[in-house]
Amino acid sequence: MSTIWLGKYSTPNKERNIKTLGGRLAKAIHQAIGASRKNRFASPSLEWKTSLFDIPCRIRKPNPAWRKVIADSSQPVHERVYNACKLGAWLDRRHLRRQAAVSLKLGPCQVIHLPGEVFVEYQLYGQQLQPSRFLAFTALGDCTAGYLPTARAFDEGGYEPSELATVTTPAIERKLKKAIASVAIAGMATRRTVQNRQKM
């Protein structure tokens, strides 16, 4: 939310953004809380599902210049951070590429947790798979991959699919949608169901 207030998606006038956009967000949060409904389930079930997938990485080999920029204190901070992210992505590539879509289903409600900063199209895709269920999404479970755009976004350009903001490729859409489908649809992927646990 702070990036919206401070100008990432608007004008660089921080004070005005905080008052205008921050006020709108605060009002929306208040309205959402007021519209919330409590439900009691007679026999609630807790179900976890996990689907592992590989994130395609556009970084093919480490660049010696990355370390030089990181060590050069005269370089702008954002340039040093950017190069550190690229170097870290390469050095930790095996871990980076192996990610997971994790689903938590509690009664009729379901939340799917994803890595990276995913585009809203992935949430809309998941909700289309289960139109009759309350299905929410959370992201940033592991932000080492940066943004996870749609394949189309790479053609459209912009900040999110740039090398500055993501290490992945257009192939991520197919892999991520497959992982989402495997946890959104019952009966697929690894699952553990706990019914009527008294210690919850």
Q: What is the pLDDT of residues 120-168, one digit of tens each?
A: 999 999 999 999 888 999 998 877 678 999 999 999 999 899 887 888 8
Q: Label the pairing between strands 98-106 and 109-113.
A: antiparallel
Q: Among 157, 182, 185, 180, which Cα is nearest to 170's?
A: 157
How far apart are the C-alpha atoms of 200 and 109, rounded to whole Å?
17
How far apart are the C-alpha atoms of 49 and 184, rounded to whole Å?
9
Q: What is the pLDDT of residues 149-161, one digit of tens each?
A: 999 999 999 989 9
pTM higher than 0.75: no
